[in-house]
Structure 1
Amino acid sequence: MATLIVPGRDEEPWPTLGPQVCSLLEERAVHGPGDLRGRDYTLDAEKRALIYKWYEVYPKGHPRAGKRRFKRCAMSVRKGTAKTELAAAVAFAELHPEGPVRCDGFDARGRPVGVPVTDPYIPMVAYTEEQTEDLAYAALMVMITEGHDADLFDAGLERIMRGDGDGKAVALAAAPDSRDGARTTFQHFDETHRFVLPRLREAHQTMLANVPKRQLADPWSLETTTTYTPGEGAVAEGTHEYAELIDQGKATDNTLFFFHREAKARPDEDLTDRDQLYAAVREASGPAIASWPDFEGQVAQIASLYQQPDTDRSYWERVWLNRRVRAGNQAFDVGQWDELARDHGLISPNRLVTVGFDGARFADSTGIVITDVATGYQQLYAGWESDGTSDWEVPEDEVHEAMAEVFGRWQVWRAYMDPPYWESEVNAWSGTYGEKRVVPWWTNRLKPTAYAMRAYRTAMITGAVTHDGGRALREHIANARRRELKMLDEDAKPLWLIRKERPDSPFKIDFAMAGALSWEARGDAVAANAKPRDGYIYTASSTRRR
Structure 2
Amino acid sequence: MPWKPQHPDDFPTLGWGVLDWWADLFPSPRDPAEPFVLTDSQARGVLEWFRLDPLTGRRVYRRGYSRRSKGRGKSPIEAGKAVAEFAGPVRFGGWDAAGQPVGVPWGGPGDPLPWVQVAAVSEGQTDNTWSVVYYFLTENDGELAEALRVDAGLTRCFLRDKPGAKLEPVTASAGSREGQPITYGVLDETHLWTPRNGGVKLARTIRRNVAKMGGASFETTNSFIPGEGSVAEGSHRSVQAGAAGVYVDDREAPREVGGVPVTLDAPDGVLRAALAEAYEDAWWVDLDRLVQEIRDPETKWRDSERFFFNWNTKGGGLAVDGEQWAKLADPGRVVAGAERVGLGFDGSISDDTTGLVGCTADGFLWVAGCWERPRFDDGRPDRGWTVPRLEVGSSVRSAFSAWTVGRMFGDPPRWATELESWAAEFGDETVLAFDTNQRSRFARAVDRFLTAVRSGTLSHADDERLTGHVLAAALEKVRSAADEADGRTMYVLVKPEDGRKIDLAVAAVLAYEAAMTMPVVEPVEFFVY
Which TM bucket (shorter chain)?
0.5 to 0.7
- The alpha-carbon distance between structure 1 residues 499 and 84, as it changes in their structure 2 partners (threshold 3 A), is farther
The two structures have a TM-score, normalised by structure 1, of 0.59
CA contact (8 A) 1:197 1:458 kept: no
SS at match of 1:149: helix
- The alpha-carbon distance between structure 1 residues 300 and 114, as it changes in their structure 2 partners (threshold 3 A), is same
1:235 is matched with 231
Of all paired residues, the percent bearing the same amino acid is: 25
- The alpha-carbon distance between structure 1 residues 460 and 224, as it changes in their structure 2 partners (threshold 3 A), is same
Deviation digits for residues 103-126 of structure 1 (CA, Å, limit 9, x no counterpart): 111112211111111120001112
SS at match of 2:218: strand
Q: Distance in 2 between matches of 1:507 and 1:139?
A: 49
Unaligned runs of 5+ in 1: 1-9, 247-252, 332-361, 365-386, 390-419, 423-441, 511-546
- Kindly indicate whether residue 68 of structure 2 is the aligned counterpart of residue 73 of structure 1: no
1:186 is matched with 184
Q: Which amino acid aligns with 1:70?
A: Y
Shift of residue 421 of structure 1? Answer: 9.4
SS at match of 1:16: coil
2:418 is matched with none
CA contact (8 A) 2:302 2:318 kept: no
Q: Distance in 1 between matches of 2:175 and 2:128?
A: 20
1:225 is matched with 221
Deviation digits for residues 41-80 of structure 1 (CA, Å, limit 9, x no counterpart): 1111112111111111122xx3xx1221111121111000
- Kindly indicate whether residue 41 of structure 2 is the aligned counterpart of residue 46 of structure 1: yes
Q: Distance in 1 between matches of 2:171 and 2:500?
A: 28
Q: Which amino acid aligns with 1:186?
A: Y
The two structures have a TM-score, normalised by structure 2, of 0.61
Shift of residue 150 of structure 1? Answer: 2.2
- The alpha-carbon distance between structure 1 residues 135 and 500, as it changes in their structure 2 partners (threshold 3 A), is farther
Deviation digits for residues 257-286 of structure 1 (CA, Å, limit 9, x no counterpart): 112100121385143311111111111112
> What number of residue pairs does the alignment pair up?
367
1:140 is matched with 133
1:445 is matched with 435
2:481 is matched with 462
Q: Which amino acid aligns with 1:275?
A: G
Deviation digits for residues 480-519 of structure 1 (CA, Å, limit 9, x no counterpart): 783759xx9xx99988785767967999799xxxxxxxxx
Q: Which amino acid aligns with 1:171?
A: P
Q: Which amino acid aligns with 2:135?
A: V
Q: Distance in 2 between matches of 1:493 and 1:184?
A: 45
Q: Distance in 2 between matches of 1:106 and 1:69?
A: 16
Q: Distance in 2 between matches of 1:492 and 1:504?
A: 24
CA contact (8 A) 2:70 2:222 kept: yes
CA contact (8 A) 2:440 2:478 kept: no
CA contact (8 A) 1:121 1:168 kept: yes
Q: Distance in 2 between matches of 1:244 and 1:11?
A: 28
Q: 2:102 aligns with which of 95, 99, 113?
A: 113
Unaligned runs of 5+ in 2: 1-6, 108-112, 321-339, 343-360, 364-406, 410-431, 447-474, 519-529
Deviation digits for residues 420-455 of structure 1 (CA, Å, limit 9, x no counterpart): 799xxxxxxxxxxxxxxxxxxx6523555699759x
1:283 is matched with 277
SS at match of 1:482: strand
SS at match of 1:278: helix
Q: Distance in 1 between matches of 2:299 and 2:510?
A: 19
1:482 is matched with 493
Shift of residue 465 of structure 1? Answer: 11
Deviation digits for residues 269-325 of structure 1 (CA, Å, limit 9, x no counterpart): 143311111111111112x22xx25x5xx1011111111112111011100000012
CA contact (8 A) 1:305 1:311 kept: yes
Compare CA radii of gyration and give the structure with the larger one.
2
Write the mapping of 1:16-415 to structure 2, written as runs, cut at 5 A: 16-32=13-29, 35-37=30-32, 39-59=34-54, 62=55, 65-96=56-87, 99-118=88-107, 119-132=113-126, 134-146=127-139, 147-151=142-146, 152-164=149-161, 165-173=163-171, 175-177=173-175, 179=177, 182-198=180-196, 199-215=198-214, 219-246=215-242, 253-266=243-256, 268-269=260-261, 270-272=263-265, 273-286=267-280, 288-289=281-282, 292-293=283-284, 295=285, 298-327=286-315, 328-330=317-319
CA contact (8 A) 1:481 1:501 kept: no
Deviation digits for residues 391-421 of structure 1 (CA, Å, limit 9, x no counterpart): xxxxxxxxxxxxxxxxxxxxxxxxxxxxx79
